[in-house]
Structure 1
Amino acid sequence: MSKPEPAEAGHRLRRNLSTWGAVGLSVALLGPSMASNLNPQEPAARVGAGVPLVFLLSTVGVLLVAHGFIRMSQHMSHAGSLYGWIGAVFGRRAGFVAGWLLLGTYLAFAVTTTAGSAVFLSDFLRGTGVWPGVNWLVPATVAFAGISRLASRPARAATRALLALEFATMGLFTAVAAVVLVKVATGGAPGHQRLALSALASPHAAAPALFSAVTFGFLSFAGFEAASTLGEETRDPERAIPRALTGTVLLAGGFFVFVTTAETLGYGTDAAGLARFTHSSSLVGDLAGAYISPGVGHLVTACAAVGAFGSALACAVSASRLLFAMGRDGFISPRLGDVRGPDGVPARALATVLAAVAVGLAGARVFATPSATDIFFWSATIGSLVLLLAYAFTLVGAVKYLFLSGPRRARPAELPIPVAGLLFIGYVLYANVHPAPRPPYDSFPYVAAAWLLAGVAAALVLRPAPAPADAASGNGLDDGDPREPVLPEPVPPAG
């Protein structure tokens, strides 16, 4: 389906990305290397040796969610991702709420990944003896400065660098995991760990604990949908974006299950091994140091810091595109919908995002905890819960648009997929409330609910200013009244 280009350069993003560029943003925001090096600790505290099972279950759940994103992106290309999609299906106010949820997710994860980069870089500096007493605020400040610099450049340059860095780091992590598994299987593990595959089934993990831990599995996949925010910067987006989404989930799922299996068996499935697992600040780095050499361990930790930095950069890029789309349509401030003339970067939206991230990091440090690791897990949990709400919103919109609105846009046999995704998300959210997790995690679902209610209140109170005449162009929305988008023109059912 052809789409007109915006008429005014001041509200137009540049179509200069290939499929690999879209993959680069999704993989970088997802950050498999960072996620596999720190995220599994909290699930291990909840389900013991069942961490690989958590990530396998998460992969299935994310694939159910991804179906809705893939199908919607085959029909609509919008810099606001689900903000634009939900706005087209349910109206602009509902679209604002969906965009608000996704914006909250990206802001929280920008804090998470910046803190994660600081954790890994601090661990590297201490482990190598370069700076034994380093305060994590120093590497966090350096990372934030780098994010600000690179995010202000066109997305094409950033995504190329992100993709190269993350793939290189994933290759290193995969090699370390392979060495660990071989040594465990052949009896060469330094702590005489055994190949206890039966322990990975975690028979003692009850379903509520398992699905509560799945929150961190979803956290590890969070960002797979980032490519959809590049719908107005990618060539042939109806094909490129679905391919990027599918490839990102499958690649990350296989990587997570393989690496977490090596981590669980490498540390050991007994109580002592699980204690080492849950207290490590660099899971793969510490394994590499024990199974290969300290130098390789330090290299892995440094690469994890780079991966976390790339993920934070991708969060900032995605959040700025989303905020740009909302501002362009007249929400919050129309000035957020401007782009910088020479390179098409949404500079005002980016500056707003960076300011929010800086305030979030500083506020967490001053008012909540001095620990960067705490900031990582706390902001990650809040962001994951908000993201689950956004995913649920997307699936509801996908069901209505694909199956219940006008011409059929997907095969009826596909309807159970988004329905199953909604049930999966619903149970994960329930498992995070009952039974209540330990403090402060027991309060985080209410923080996520408060963010949702704030978005609903803003949607009811705010009346967006009239957007520029081209605001809806090229994104699958109506080119008439910018306040009342309509469904895109029907296209043939997806194969």
Structure 2
Amino acid sequence: MANSNLKKDNLSIIETIALSVAIIAPTAAMSINVSLMSLSASFSEPLIFFISMVIVGLVSYSVIKFNHYFSSSGSLYTFTEKTLGEKFGFLTGWALLLAYVMLAAGCCAELGAFFSKFLNYFGIQIAWLPLSMFFSLGIVILGIIDAKISTRIMLAMEGISILLIFILSIVILFKVGSTKGLSPIPFKTNKNSFSTLASTSVLAFLSFIGFESASSLGEETKNPKKFIPLAIGSAVFVTGIFYLLSSYSQVIGFGVDAKGLKALSTSSLPLTDLSTKYISRTFGIFLLFSASLSCFSCSLGSACAGSRILFAMSKDGIISKKLSIIHKKHCTPYIGIILITIVAMFLQLILFKKDGIEAFNYLATIGSLAIIVSYLFTSIGAVVFFKRTKEIKNLNIFIPILSIAALLYVLYANIYPIPEFPTNTFPYIVLIWLVIGFILNERFNKNAKIAVLDIAKEGLDL
């Protein structure tokens, strides 16, 4: 009989934190997101990161509270299913699955782009797509092995990368501060409308995607009700502070004038360019390599978290039972990992004519919108849960309501004013995905009811 149990008490606090940090991938986020955000928000990236950190912090409050009550590989899917019912639970898991698949595909495309540029320094010319396809095989292999090993590998990759960016940021702050002085401009709106800041914040939300992923280790962590909340809180606020430091140093590093804005917004490798300017070309090459490692760990972490969502939904009988089969040796949901990686590879193949960074931008933005929907359902579920358990006192009810309002506005800002093509299609791609999920769920419920009636009829005949 096929094994359908994840390895219990396998992960310590280190491995639990590692998955959230790996999917958030601070190095990958800081390697390109600030530059992309500057196209619409000029110098206000640190302000947007601060606002996004506050909103994500509000959402994380509900996720942390849920983890005190439920320990499951289903993460947000399980929390919403327990509070809003099977239908909303399925839609939450369905949206979360889209987010992880898109992030796995997008970060792998970004990995191909970064590693291609890294090889260029040594005179080797290889396009991003063949590289991303090659690294996808490594993602499958590492995803299938023991979660303790894969999470530690991800944490090591990200730790080295973060250290290098931290060093660069401190050098920039010191050199700019001692010559031109540190400017407060990056923390101002800079004539950007609130709607512009909100729509641009999708890229900032993208930088936080994965903070909740430690919840998917609920069945494998030694002390889930203690370790997982600690991992989530650390992932949000420690990473958020790192983002503020790095985004601010990038903006002032290029310069808070028209020339600096143009240089930042047109740079495909802002950290490498800043390294060359403030430290050395060699340091920039190392940083580019570390950014590639960060993208790899993000794609790997997304596949691992997504496979556990599939595992939980499969165990509940919502999708194929084959997805709940566990690897005999490593006790990991290997079929889900392989499936997610194959879909991610297919998405990258569709975008083969695009640059790897552009492919990342498309895929990851769709993933960001999808996970905002998951956060929204989870926050609504928290309000229902706190009311049901009579935890309405203090901030328990106010914080989820505040997060709901903020998330709704961010979604609205990405629909109106209507953005340019193809960005204007992304919200509708998520909507179509949710409609497909709704139809699948209705069909499953209908089939399940028919099966129950048939069994009952057979019993009466006997």
What is residue 213 of structure 1 aligned with on the other side?
200
What is residue 144 of structure 2 aligned with on the other side?
152
Go from structure 1 to structure 2 and tell me whether the alpha carbon gap of 1:199 and 1:329 turns closer, same or farther (over 3 Å shift): closer
79-88 or 64-73, which deviates more: 79-88
Q: Tell me which amino acid in the other structure corresponds to 1:423.
A: A
Go from structure 1 to structure 2 and tell me whether the alpha carbon gap of 1:67 and 1:9 turns closer, same or farther (over 3 Å shift): farther
What is residue 142 of structure 1 aligned with on the other side?
134
Give the distance between the partners of 1:87 and 1:464, measured in 2 at CA.
18
What is residue 129 of structure 1 aligned with on the other side?
122
Go from structure 1 to structure 2 and tell me whether the alpha carbon gap of 1:202 and 1:413 turns closer, same or farther (over 3 Å shift): closer
| Alignment of 1:371 onto 2:355 | yes
| Alignment of 1:119 onto 2:113 | yes
Give the distance between the partners of 1:145 and 1:227, measured in 2 at CA.
24
| Alignment of 1:325 onto 2:312 | yes
Task: Name which of 430, 433, 445 aligns with 1:451.
Answer: 433
| Alignment of 1:438 onto 2:420 | yes
- Deviation of 1:205 after TM superposition, in Å, equals 0.8
Task: Name which of 29, 33, 37 aligns with 1:35.
Answer: 29
Superposition CA RMSD, Å: 1.6
| Alignment of 1:244 onto 2:218 | no
Give the distance between the partners of 1:413 and 1:250, measured in 2 at CA.
19
438-447 or 387-396, which deviates more: 438-447
What is residue 204 of structure 1 aligned with on the other side?
191
Mapping of residues 63-462 of structure 1, within 5 Å: 63-126=57-120, 128-131=121-124, 133-187=125-179, 195-365=182-352, 369-401=353-385, 403-405=386-388, 407-409=389-391, 411-462=393-444
Is the 1:154–1:344 Cα contact (8 Å) retained in structure 2? yes
Q: Tell me which amino acid in the other structure corresponds to 1:309.
A: F
Give the distance between the partners of 1:96 and 1:208, measured in 2 at CA.
31
- Deviation of 1:271 after TM superposition, in Å, equals 1.6
- Deviation of 1:312 after TM superposition, in Å, equals 0.4
Go from structure 1 to structure 2 and tell me whether the alpha carbon gap of 1:199 and 1:260 turns closer, same or farther (over 3 Å shift): closer
3-state DSSP of counterpart to 2:42? helix
3-state DSSP of counterpart to 1:123? helix
Unaligned runs of 5+ in 2: 449-462
Q: Tell me which amino acid in the other structure corresponds to 1:168.
A: I
Give the distance between the partners of 1:274 and 1:134, measured in 2 at CA.
30
Q: Tell me which amino acid in the other structure corresponds to 2:209.
A: A
- Deviation of 1:456 after TM superposition, in Å, equals 1.4
- Deviation of 1:465 after TM superposition, in Å, equals 8.0
Give the distance between the partners of 1:438 and 1:269, measured in 2 at CA.
26
What TM-score comes out, normalization by structure 1 length?
0.88
Q: Tell me which amino acid in the other structure corresponds to 2:378.
A: T
3-state DSSP of counterpart to 1:29? helix
Q: Tell me which amino acid in the other structure corresponds to 1:404.
A: K
Q: Tell me which amino acid in the other structure corresponds to 1:36.
A: M
3-state DSSP of counterpart to 1:344? coil
Q: Which runs of 4+ in 1 moved over 6 A?
A: none
- Deviation of 1:319 after TM superposition, in Å, equals 0.7
Q: Tell me which amino acid in the other structure corresponds to 2:387.
A: L
3-state DSSP of counterpart to 1:266? helix
What TM-score comes out, normalization by structure 2 length?
0.94
Go from structure 1 to structure 2 and tell me whether the alpha carbon gap of 1:352 and 1:463 turns closer, same or farther (over 3 Å shift): farther
Unaligned runs of 5+ in 1: 1-7, 188-192, 467-495
3-state DSSP of counterpart to 1:11? coil
3-state DSSP of counterpart to 1:77? coil
- Deviation of 1:410 after TM superposition, in Å, equals 6.3
Task: Give identity over the alignment, percent.
Answer: 32
Deviations 1:55-98 (Å, cap 9, x if unpaired)?
Answer: 11110010011011000011001101111122222222321111
Q: Tell me which amino acid in the other structure corresponds to 2:195.
A: P
Go from structure 1 to structure 2 and tell me whether the alpha carbon gap of 1:197 and 1:330 turns closer, same or farther (over 3 Å shift): same
Is the 2:45–2:186 Cα contact (8 Å) retained in structure 1? no
Q: Tell me which amino acid in the other structure corresponds to 2:156.
A: A
Is the 1:81–1:322 Cα contact (8 Å) retained in structure 2? yes
- Deviation of 1:199 after TM superposition, in Å, equals 5.0
- Equivalenced residues, count: 447
Is the 2:254–2:260 Cα contact (8 Å) retained in structure 1? yes
Is the 2:113–2:127 Cα contact (8 Å) retained in structure 1? no
What is residue 480 of structure 1 aligned with on the other side?
none
Is the 1:120–1:281 Cα contact (8 Å) retained in structure 2? no
3-state DSSP of counterpart to 2:282? helix
Go from structure 1 to structure 2 and tell me whether the alpha carbon gap of 1:465 and 1:57 turns closer, same or farther (over 3 Å shift): same
- Deviation of 1:461 after TM superposition, in Å, equals 1.5
3-state DSSP of counterpart to 1:70? helix
Q: Tell me which amino acid in the other structure corresponds to 2:399.
A: I
Q: Tell me which amino acid in the other structure corresponds to 2:244.
A: V
96-105 or 194-203, which deviates more: 194-203
